[in-house]
Amino acid sequence: MTMDQQTGLMSLNMSPFDLSPGPEGSGSGGGPSGTSQQYVPQGAAYQCGPEQQSFGYANLDPSYLFPTGAGGEAGAYLPATGAVCDQTDTKDVIEELCPVCGDKVSGYHYGLLTCESCKGFFKRTVQNKKVYTCVAERACHIDKTQRKRCPFCRFQKCLDVGMKLEAVRADRMRGGRNKFGPMYKRDRARKLQMMRQRQIAVQTLRGSIGDGSLVLGFGSPYASVPVKQEIQIPQVSSLTSSPESSPGPVLLAAQPQPQQPPPPPAHDKWEAHSPHSASPDAFAFDAPATNAATPSSTAEPTSTETLRVSPMIREFVQTIDDREWQNSLFGLLQSQTYNQCEVDLFELMCKVLDQNLFSQVDWARNTVFFKYLKVDDQMKLLQNSWSDMLVLDHLHQRMHNGLPDETTLHNGQKFDLICLGLLGVPALADHFNELQNKLAELKFDVPDYICVKFLLLLNPEVRGIVNVKCVRDGYQTVQAALLDYTLTCYPNIQDKFGKLVTVVPEIHALASRGEEHLYQRHCAGQAPTQTLLMEMLHAKRKPNGGEMVNRSAEHTSTLDRLCGFLPSDAIEPHSPI
DNA sequence: AGTCAAGGCCAG
DNA sequence: CTGGCCTTGACT
């Protein structure tokens, strides 16, 4: 039996964001099989109790904390020995701790390196369609000694760290290999490379002690938390396809390609995450009917003009990882609603926004101009622009990737995807649509998008920036590049650049209203606490007007840690907190 | 033939 | 129900 058959649980005509089970339910063999336990209706936020709260994010998916680059998906611990790893053999790679319980890893199981017991637990849960109940707040701490206490939270953590439902075989066939084989191989290779790079980074650091210019996270007390396993989701629709043959990240396809058909709907990226994909079409975004990135015959750049796109803009476009954005969105919606009767949609929206924020920080800190700034400056810029960029990202996903307004969750609930772009304010929908129409008229394309995003981020007017010159240089460089791009590639659109620039304050106005709304709901106790999202909301409202939170070791904010984190491939293991 | 990630078995 | 160990079988 193929993986398609194993996992063919979804309606064939299901939309890419339709996460609800197919006609047969969430399992392969019909409805739940006589489990005695029942789900406890949701109410509590995804928070941690005081006993396990070693730091602010103790019970959020720890892999959010230290994103290690685009494509990261599952979670795992790096070696937490505290010692610098001087060897880079495979043995070290495998000597990790289970991302679920911290026990010794026995190999790759269901998508990532886990211990034998969590492997067995995950298998039994999925095979037998167990439904667990948490008698506490559904935020139990899971470690080696306590993993048996709360199967609900243990399973939730399995999903959170990235264990894959689709790797459990519906037909129970033994032996053989599945589609993750090549992925595991790549992951091993990547880990080995990371080890080597970390070694180099450590050596570099040793040679630069006392050099205050290094912005590294070695002093962080958080480095022993799990770090995302760098497993790329195979871009395949069946067991028989090779992930290696999958298309690369969204790169040049996003650039104007007037003489070619628009990029095909990216089915794969949806199937990749869904245990329920049944057909290649099941997870395609709607083909962008009014794809602004597919220029019309009158206004688009010609192929000759495309060649004139500056290398910098090409590079900018390459920083976009829409697939990661979509995969993580889908993965979160999937994991948050698996085995759930009903979820709080506002809370879910906050979690998605929170995840988007982590991606955003990860994107920013790897980009030119920004990555050379000191952490404090980086934080100020992000705190100033995060909501604007969230709105812009959503416009981009809608316009260039056909993101629908709504999706059906696993549990049958409808989730308004559009609310992500509106930051939870339905009343802004008209404004949002007007903005989108305006951009569509301007043939707003992917290079435009990424340039505007840089302009939002690199705002030299932000108060308190130390290295204003660097920010301004970056801003002006992007501005010039965008002007050049619009003149070269869209000569028929009168003053496209100027009109794009006028959109920025509109985005800001929209985002500000959203922020205000989120803040009020947060104050009313309706939003999950201890999230990066809430940290961002609070930052602007601090009496010192966006000054950094106290950055002493005992009071380090999440954003601080994210910005101060090492380059993704040079992570220094630390002793536990 | 060896590898290794699936599923299965069964004592505790 | 758990988790350590065993069996299986596609892939190398």
Can you tell me which residue has its alpha carbon closest to the C1' of nucleotide B8? A174
Strand C atom within 7 Å of A120 CB: yes
Strand C atom within 7 Å of A181 CB: yes
pLDDT at A9 over 60: no
Higher per-residue confidence, A355 vs A65: A355
Higher per-residue confidence, A135 vs A26: A135
What local confidence, expressed as pLDDT, does residue A447 receive?
A: 93
Q: How far apart are alpha carbons A324 and A359 in whole angstroms?
A: 9
Nearest 5°: the CA angle A184, A351, A51 is: 85
Going by pLDDT thresholds of 50, 70 and 90, the confidence category of residue A556 is low
In order of A110, A217, A526, A541, the CA distances from A510 in angstroms are: 42, 34, 21, 18
Strand B atom within 7 Å of A168 CB: yes
In order of A21, A98, A182, A201, A494, the CA distances from A116 in angstroms are: 29, 9, 21, 33, 63
Give the nucleotide nearest to A101 (CA→C1').
C3
Strand C atom within 7 Å of A173 CB: yes
Q: Which of A34, A3, A56 is nearest to A560 (CA)?
A: A56
Strand B atom within 7 Å of A177 CB: yes
Strand C atom within 7 Å of A148 CB: yes
Going by pLDDT thresholds of 50, 70 and 90, the confidence category of residue A417 is very high
Q: Is residue A515 within 8 Å of residue A540, measured between CB atoms?
A: yes
Give the nucleotide nearest to A244 (CA→C1').
C11
pLDDT tens digits, A562-577: 665 433 332 222 222 2
Strand C atom within 7 Å of A130 CB: yes
pLDDT tens digits, A369-403: 898 898 889 989 999 999 999 999 999 999 999 89
Q: What sign has the CA pseudo-torsion A572, A249, A348, A41?
A: negative
- The overall average pLDDT reported for chain A is 67
Give the nucleotide nearest to A174 (CA→C1').
B7
pLDDT tens digits, A527-554: 877 788 988 888 877 655 444 444 444 4
pLDDT at A237 over 50: no
Q: Is residue A410 within 8 Å of residue A343, measured between CB atoms?
A: no
Q: What sign has the CA pseudo-torsion A556, A562, A564, A568?
A: positive
On strand C, nucleotides with any atom < 7 Å from a protein CB are 1-5, 7-12
The domain locations on chain A are 94-170+181-197, 311-541
Q: Which range is most confident: A28-37, A239-248, A325-334?
A: A325-334
Strand partners, A97: A104
Q: Is residue A432 within 8 Å of residue A313, measured between CB atoms?
A: no
H-helix or E-strand spanning residue A545: none
Strand B atom within 7 Å of A148 CB: no
What local confidence, expressed as pLDDT, does residue A338 receive?
A: 64
Q: Which of residues 411-430 of A touch strand C (CB under 7 A)?
A: none
Q: Which of residues 111-130 of A touch strand B (CB under 7 A)?
A: 111, 119-120, 123, 127
What local confidence, expressed as pLDDT, does residue A193 receive?
A: 72
**CA A543 → C1' C2, Å?**
53
Instruction: Please enumerate in sequence order all residues whose Cβ is within 8 A of that of A438, keeping only pairs 6 or more positions apart, or say none.
Output: A499, A503, A506
pLDDT over 90 percentage in chain A: 28
Long-range contacts of A187-194 (CB under 8 A, 24+ apart): A187/A108, A187/A112, A187/A229, A187/A230, A187/A231, A187/A232, A188/A90, A188/A93, A190/A230, A191/A93, A191/A230, A192/A88, A192/A89, A192/A90, A192/A93, A193/A569, A194/A230, A194/A569, A194/A571
**CA A176 → C1' C10, Å?**
4
Q: How far apart are alpha carbons A193 and A68 in whole angstroms?
A: 13
Strand B atom within 7 Å of A458 CB: no
Going by pLDDT thresholds of 50, 70 and 90, the confidence category of residue A257 is very low
Domain pair A94-170+181-197 / A311-541, same fold: no
pLDDT at A422 over 70: yes
**CA A100 → C1' C10, Å?**
28
Strand partners, A108: A113
pLDDT tens digits, A139-166: 899 999 999 999 999 999 999 888 989 8
Going by pLDDT thresholds of 50, 70 and 90, the confidence category of residue A232 is very low
pLDDT at A366 over 50: yes
What local confidence, expressed as pLDDT, does residue A328 receive?
A: 76
Range with lowest mean pLDDT among A39-53, A185-199, A409-423: A39-53
What local confidence, expressed as pLDDT, does residue A228 receive?
A: 43
Strand C atom within 7 Å of A124 CB: yes
pLDDT at A499 over 80: yes
pLDDT tens digits, A273-330: 333 332 222 233 333 333 333 333 344 554 445 556 788 898 889 888 887 788 778 7
Domain A311-541's class?
A: mainly alpha
pLDDT at A256 over 80: no
Going by pLDDT thresholds of 50, 70 and 90, the confidence category of residue A203 is low
**CA A96 → C1' B6, Å?**
21
Give the nucleotide nearest to A148 (CA→C1').
C2
Give the nucleotide nearest to A130 (CA→C1').
C1
**Looking at residues A197-222, what average pLDDT do you find?**
46
Q: Which of A571, A572, A574 is nearest to A67 (CA)?
A: A571
Range with lowest mean pLDDT among A113-122, A508-517, A552-561: A552-561
On strand B, nucleotides with any atom < 7 Å from a protein CB are 4-9
Strand C atom within 7 Å of A541 CB: no
Annotate A185-235 with three-state secondary structure: HHHHHHHHHHHHHHHHHHHHHHHCCCCCCCCCCCCCCCCCCCEEECCCCCC
| A94-170+181-197 maps to CATH 3.40.50.10190 | no
Strand C atom within 7 Å of A117 CB: yes
Strand B atom within 7 Å of A174 CB: yes
Q: How far apart are alpha carbons A45 and A247 in whole angstroms?
A: 38
Q: How far apart are alpha carbons A558 and A539 in whole angstroms?
A: 12
pLDDT over 70 percentage in chain A: 57
pLDDT tens digits, A48-83: 332 332 222 223 232 322 223 223 333 333 333 333
Dig out the tokens for A402 from the structure: 């056909």
Q: Which of A322, A330, A328, A342 is nearest to A276 (CA)?
A: A330
State the first-to-last Cα distance of chain A, in angstroms, to the nearest integer. Answer: 46
For chain A, helix, strand, coil in percent to 5 are: 45, 5, 50
Q: Is residue A430 within 8 Å of residue A353, measured between CB atoms?
A: no
Strand partners, A75: A228
Higher per-residue confidence, A27 vs A469: A469
Higher per-residue confidence, A193 vs A211: A193
pLDDT tens digits, A82-136: 333 333 344 444 457 898 999 999 999 998 899 999 999 999 999 999 999 999 8
Strand B atom within 7 Å of A180 CB: yes
